[in-house]
Copies of this chain bind each other. A is one copy, B any other.
């Protein structure tokens, strides 16, 4: 289970020990109960104004800060929403989404905590999270199995939500099916009259969870149209792009969906250096709608991705927590819109 390694004892004792509510009570000349009532604005009991003042004064004087662990231990539950930090370095899109979510959840009086679980595998990670007894767990990406969900629920988590490509038994699913991105891109390229379509596959294996569904989406869009699909591996390096560009004409493609805008920019530059006219000979489309794509010449077409608003998601979490008897639901939360610019 859990091992507590030994750590050296403090080299010196703190001059002041941490003040507790008992200290506040002593200083104010009241009982611990009264302190608790006052500091929590308990509505069930009425405390006289002078007493309140004395307590507040004493608390301030001592620099008293309540002990969250003790409180939630006593209460039997917490308002902590735990969110494992995604292992893959994610873009600004996600960062912003996360901040928004955090803000929205705090409006519901939840405390959002991002837990770094580097190096832990699957169910082992779930156990580590469960030790914190969060009221809800919001898991990005894949990597949590039904076992993990069960562990969390048995440990009192009232809602487990996954943000990822697939449903997990027992958990609410916020399906972020990236195939819709590929479908949009594929459909767009078809509509532009392209027939021999390449799809960039980043060589960074960490990106597979996004890249594979996007590829699959393109495949779906092309299905039954007679258009061909060619996977094009590419590392996020100039040299890799140059090599690819050198053999580009041999691939015989008239369009390429470049996984995202960054890869698109990398590839586009290499193709242009090779003298391949865009979009005439090869159309290029990216994804993520980065500002920088607009600066290219020709301007980069892209698939704009809509994540759910933090507000919506926070409501979903709150509802799941409150109706935690209800069966877990599934929500499609990824939108995709093609922004047609000059490169396609």
Tallying the copies of this chain within the complex gives 2
Contacting residues, chain B, for A69 (C-beta < 8 A) = 68-70, 72-73, 78, 132-133
Once bound together, how far apart are the Cα atoms of A341 and B133, in whole Å? 52
Within 8 Å of chain B (Cβ to Cβ): is A243? Answer: no
Q: Please, could you name 8 A-B residue pairs with CB atoms under 8 Å apart, sorted by A?
A: A5-B109, A11-B325, A12-B325, A19-B154, A65-B154, A69-B78, A112-B115, A113-B113
Contacting residues, chain B, for A45 (C-beta < 8 A) = none
B73–A85 CB distance below 8 A: no
Stretch at the interface among A179-187, A215-223, A252-260, A290-298: A290-298
Q: Which residue of B lies closest to A101 (CB)?
A: B116
- Number of contacting residues on A, CB 8 A? 78
Once bound together, how far apart are the Cα atoms of A56 and B3, in whole Å? 13
Contacting residues, chain B, for A68 (C-beta < 8 A) = 69, 131-133
A18–B154 CB distance below 8 A: yes
Within 8 Å of chain B (Cβ to Cβ): is A64? Answer: yes
Once bound together, how far apart are the Cα atoms of A142 and B111, in whole Å? 22
Q: Show the binding face of A for B, using Cβ within 8 Å.
A: 1-5, 7-8, 10-12, 14, 16, 18-19, 39-41, 56, 59, 63-70, 72-73, 78-79, 85, 87, 89-92, 95-96, 99, 102-103, 106, 109, 111-116, 118-119, 127, 130-133, 150-151, 154-156, 158, 236-238, 262, 265-266, 269, 291-292, 294-295, 322-325
